[in-house]
Structure 1
Amino acid sequence: MIDVPVDGLVADVFLPGRLPAPAVVVRTPYGTAGLWPEADALTGAGLAVVLQDLRGRHRSTGEFQAGADEEADGHTLLDWTTAQPWSDGTTLLYGTSYEAYAAWCAVAHPSVRGVASRQPWPPVTVAVDEELWWRTEIGGGRQLRPGLYDLALSRPVWPVPLGAWPPTPSSWRTQARRTASRIRAANVPSLHLGSWYCGSAATTLRQASLARRATVVMGGWASPLTHRLQPECAIDVPVDPDPAELALSWLAAVATGADPRPGHRCLVLGSNRWEPRDPRPSARPPLRALPLTGRASSSIDHDPADPYPSLPHSADLSAVGPRADVVRLGATGRVAWHGTARARCRVETDRPAELVATLVHETPAGVRTRLSDGTAPITPGSGMAEIRCAPVAVDLPAGHALHLELTVGRHPRHTAPETPVSVTVSGVDLLVPGGRR
C-alpha cells in the first residue's frame, strides 16, 4: 500500500504473506523509496513494514523542523499501525541518522518491542563540515538537495538559509539530552550500529552505554548519510558484514522473541579485523604515552587567506603537502588502542583560537587518511591544552605509521580564525588507552 495518509503524513505499508504480524516502523526525512529494498527483505522474514515521510518532508504536509520533538507524530503513527487488522499489536523501530532520532523519540509507546539504531543523530560534538552538509543537502526544505554542500563552499553567500551559524552546542544539546533520557527509560532490546569512520561514532557508543539491553556493532562502513565518500576514496572500506543485513536479521530475531543481546562486534582499524567483543571503551582506562618524533618546539602560523585545508574523510591527506601552519609529529613503536586518545601540549598564542589535533594513518604506500580528530579552545598567553579525539579501535600493522597533526582550525571541518594567529607548541604528549582489551 503506497501513499497511505495518517494524520496528514504519508506512509507506505508493506505486508507479509502471513497476517497478523509485528510491524517495523521507520519515520524518515530522506524519502521512503530508498528504504523499499529493506522493506521487501523484512516482509520476506514475516514482518509488516510502515515507512512514513516526516512532517514537512517529501509527500507529508506541514513544516519540517530539524530536531523538533518527534514523539507526538511517532505515537500517532504507532497508534494507527497497531489498530490495523494486519497488526499483531507489536512494533519495532528502525532508522539511520535522523531516522534513529525519530525512533528514540517514540520509544515510550507501549507497542514497542525493540529499536535498531544506525549511526544516529544528533552528534555528541559537531564538525562544521558535517553540519553544513546536513543543513544544505538534508535538513532544509521538503526534498533532498544533493550537491548543495559543494556549491555552498564555492560561494561567498550561502545558497540556502542555514539558521544560526556557525553551530554552537545549542544546535544539538537539547536533542541529545532528549534522546539520552528516552534511551535510559526504555526497557527494550536495542541494536546500536556505528562506524569509526563516521562523525556519529561517539554518539553510537554513548547511546549504547545508556541502553539497558544493548547489542553494539562498530564497523568501518561508509554511506552517503554518514560521510561524503569521494570518487578518489583512499579508505579501505570493509564490505562485510553489511550493516543493513545486520539490522534486518536483528529485527527479525526480536520479533520472534529471541534474545538478541549476544553478538557484540568490533572492527579494529588498521588491521581491519573483526573481533567478537563490546566496542564500548572502558570509562576510565589507564593511559600510556606513545613516543613521538619531531621538533620539540614548533610554531603554527595561521593565514586566514589560506587556512589549513580539511579534505573529505575518504581522501588522501598526503595531497596537502608541506605547510607552515601545521605541527606534524610521528608516533613510534606499536600503535594500538581502543577508546579516546588525548593530545596534551603547552601552547603560547597571541589570539584566541581552536587547536585541532588530527590522528593520521599512513600506509607503506604513503597514503594518509584521517583516523580521528578533536579540538580544544586556546586563549591568549601561555598554558596547557588537552584535546580529546573521537573514540576509535586501532591496531596498525608493521610498516604502517601514525602521525599527530596540530593545526589552528582545519577548514571547512573546523572553524579557522578570521585573523592571523601564531601559536607556539611544545612538550607534546599523545596519550592513548593502555593497549587493546
Structure 2
Amino acid sequence: MTPFGARVEGLATDVLLPDGDGPFPAVLIRTPYDRGRYRAEARGWARRGFAAVVQDVRGRFASAGKWHPYENEAADGAATARWTRRQPWSDGRLVAAGASYAAHCALVLALEASGEARPDAVIAAVPALGAAETAREPSGVERLLARAGWWAAHGDRRDSDEGALDRALAATPDLLTHLPLTGLPERLGRALPSWAGLWRHRGRGRLAARAVHAGMPLLAVGGHHDHFTEDTVALWRAWGGPSARLLLGPWGHGLTTAAGPDAGPAHRVNLGDLYVRWARRALTGELAPGRHGALALGGADLWLPSGTDGEPRAQRLRPVHGCAFTADPDRPVRSDDLAVPTGGPPDRCLLLTPPLPRPLDVVGPVRVRLRATAHTRSADWAARLVALTPEGTAGRLAVGVLRRGEPAGRETGFTLELGRLARRLRAGTRLRLEIAGHHFPMHARNPHTGEDPVTAGRLLASRREVDPRSVALMLPVLPSRPTPTDPAKEILR
C-alpha cells in the first residue's frame, strides 16, 4: 500500500493506494473528527482494492479555514470529488462514505453536487442529516444533552475534547439546569459562538426531500439505540436511486462497538467487510433494484427482512398512580434514571400491563394515544416505555416527546410517537408506561411560560391530568414467529 498526503482547496487529505498498478475505484471520507483516526479504516479499503481518500473538513485539525458545522460540506466535498477523479490512480468510480457527521458530508455530496463531483454510490451510517435534525425531535423538542456534549467537544474549535462535558458535569452536576441555556458556553469556560445559532435551525427535511431525486445506490446503516434511527429509516424510505439497502442492528451511535443489552452473537456483523462487498456490487451495477435490507430482532439473536412490521395491538394498562400530577421543571423526570419516586406528590402518570403470558415480538413504530389536560398554555408530554423483567430489572424500550400549545385547562386528545422497536419481549415481562412533562437532561425542560426553552429565564410548574381510560399503548406485534434472514444476503442481493 502507498500512502501520501495532499491539500485540496486548503483541506488536509490523506490518500492510501492499494498495491498494484491501478487505476482503482476510490472511497472518500470527509470528517471533522481527525483524519488520523481513520487509518485502520483506510487500510481496510486499500487492502480490498480501493483508493482511500480521507480528509479533515474545513477548519478542523490540519485543514485551513473556519469551522462552520453543516455549512461548507457540499462545496468542499464537490471540489475533493473532482480532484479525486482526475488523479492518475483513479479509475473514475467513487464511493462517498461516512458515519454520523461524515455521513452528512457523503449525503450532501451525493444529493447536491452535479456532474463529475457526484459519487457513484453512498454509504451513510448513523447519518446526521442536518443541524435542525440533530438539534430537535420532529415535534420540536430540543435534544439538549446530546447537543451540549457534541458542541462542548467539537464546536468552534480546531481540535476535539471528547470529555469536555463529562468533566464539566462532574465539577458542576447541575450545569444544564442553569438558565438560559444559551449561557452554557460561559459555564463551560470557553467561547462557543455557534451554540446559540444552532437552535435557530428549524427547517427539517431538506436532505430527505432531495433523497427522492437521488441517482445512485445507498447503503444506510443504523442502530435501534441510536438517536438518529428515525432519520436513517426515513432516508432509506425516501431514497430514489436505483437501489437502497438498510441495516439496523441492536446498537447505539457507535454501531457494533456500542451493542445494546438485547444484542446477541448473531448481531456481531463485520461492517467493514460488508461495506466493501456492497460497494463492489454497487459500482458494477449488480444490486437488484428497490429497497431491501435487514433489521435485528433484539433479544432473539436473529435478523428479519427490513420491511417487516407487526400489526398494531392495544395493550391492557392499569393505572398505578399520578393520573393527576405536577410537571415541575425544578424537579423534572430524569432521562438517566428509571427509578420511580415513592414519596411526595406524583411527578408522572404511571400505568402497568399485566405480565405477558407468552413471548411477544414487537417490530415497528410504537404509539401512545391519550386524552389529557395541561394547565399551562405551553406543555411538553413525554411518554417512556420500560420493560420490567420477571427478575425485577428495568430497561428502557422507547421514548417519545411532543410539544403542545393550547388553552390552559382544555382536555385534548393526541398521539405520542415513541419511535421504532425491534425486540422480543420475554413471557412474564410487564410494561410500564410513564407519562410526564419532562425528560431531562436528554431533552430541554419546557418552562411552561410560552418562552423558547433555550432562551427562557424563568420556570413555572404545570398541573396535568390524564384520563386513564383513554390511554392506549399500541405495539406492532408480529402475528407468528418470524422467519429469520441473513443480513449479508439482504444487503448484497
Whether these two folds match at TM > 0.5 is yes
| CA offset digits 1:361-380 (Å, max 9, x no partner) | 33333332222211122442
Task: Tell me how far 1:414 sits from its aligned partner.
Answer: 1.9
Q: Does 1:367 align with 2:393?
A: yes
1:359 alignment partner, SS class: strand
CA distance in 1 between partners of 2:58 and 2:247 (Å): 31
Aligned partner of 2:432 in structure 1 is: 403
How many angstroms does 1:335 deviate by?
4.2
Residue type at the aligned position of 2:466:
V
- 2:125 equivalent among 95, 118, 129: 118
Corresponding residue for residue 84 of structure 1:
87
Q: Residue 220 of structure 1 is aligned with which of 243, 247, 250? A: 250
Corresponding residue of 2:489: none
Measured against aligned partners, the alpha-carbon deviations of 1:178-221 in whole angstroms (never above 9, x if no partner) come to x2244222221110101110011000000001113101111012
Indicate the residue corresponding to 1:102 in structure 2. Answer: 105
1:220-240 per-residue CA deviation (whole Å, 9 max, x = no partner) reads 12345x8997xxx98344551
Shift of 1:310: 1.1
TM-score when scaled to structure 2?
A: 0.78
Deviation string, structure 1 residues 253-274 (Cα, Å, up to 9, x no partner): 4345432768611112333422
SS in structure 1 at match of 2:212 = helix
Q: What's the CA shift for 1:138?
A: 3.0
Equivalent in the alignment of 2:201: 171
Which residue of the partner structure matches residue 65 of structure 2?
Answer: 62
Distance in 2 (CA, whole Å) between partners of 1:290 and 1:237 is 25
How many correspondences in the alignment?
Answer: 421
Equivalent pair of 1:47/1:252 in contact (CA under 8 Å): no
User: Is 2:42–2:52's contact at 8 Å kept on the other side of the alignment?
Assistant: yes
Q: Deviations over 1:140-194 (max 9, x none)?
A: 32222212223454334521426465965x52535x31x2244222221110101
Q: 2:460 aligns with which of 419, 426, 430?
A: 419
Offset, 1:135: 1.9
Question: Does the alignment pair 1:15 with 2:45?
Answer: no
| Cα offsets for 1:37-66 (capped at 9, x unmatched) | 111111111110100100111110111211
Q: Does 1:391 align with 2:391?
A: no
The alignment status of 1:356 with 2:382, answered yes or no, reads yes
Pair 1:346–1:129, CA change in 2 (3 A): same
CA pair 62-244 structure 1, distance change in 2 beyond 3 A:
same
**Deviating more after overlay: 335-344 vs 87-96:** 335-344
Within 5 Å, which residues of 2 pair with 1:270-281?
A: 270-275=299-304, 277-279=305-307
> Which stretch of the first structure deviates more once superposed, 125-134 or 388-397?
125-134
Report deviation, 1:117: 0.6
Residues 225 and 253, structure 2, Cα contact 8 Å, conserved in 1? no
Higher mean C-alpha displacement, 102-111 vs 33-42: 102-111
Distance in 2, matches of 1:86 and 1:227, equals 32
Structure 1 residue 6 displacement after superposition: 0.6
Moved more, 72-81 or 121-130: 121-130
Relative to structure 1, is the Cα distance of residues 398 and 343 closer, same or farther in structure 2, using a 3 angstrom cutoff?
same
The 1:8/1:69 distance shift into structure 2, 3 A limit, reads closer
Q: How does 1:322-361 map to 2 (within 5 A)?
A: 322=342, 324-332=346-354, 333=356, 335-351=360-376, 352-361=378-387
C-alpha contact (below 8 Å) 1:27/1:95 kept by paired residues: yes
Structure 1 residue 246 corresponds to structure 2 residue 274: yes
- Residue of structure 2 in register with 1:314 after alignment: none
Which residue of 1 is the match for residue 455 of structure 2? none
Secondary structure of the structure 2 residue equivalent to 1:341: strand
Is residue 321–residue 351 contact of structure 2 (8 Å, CA) maintained in 1?
Answer: no
Kindly name which structure, 1 or 2, has the bigger radius of gyration based on alpha carbons.
2
Change (3 A) 1:272 1:359: farther
C-alpha separation in 2, matches of 1:264 and 1:228: 21
Read off the aligned partner of 1:27 and give its amino acid letter. R
Change (3 A) 1:318 1:9: same
Out of 37-46 and 409-418, give the one that drifted further.
Answer: 409-418
Q: Summarize deviations over 1:49-86 as a string: whole Å, max 9, x none.
A: 10010011111011121121522111100111011110
Q: Secondary structure at the match of 1:328?
A: strand
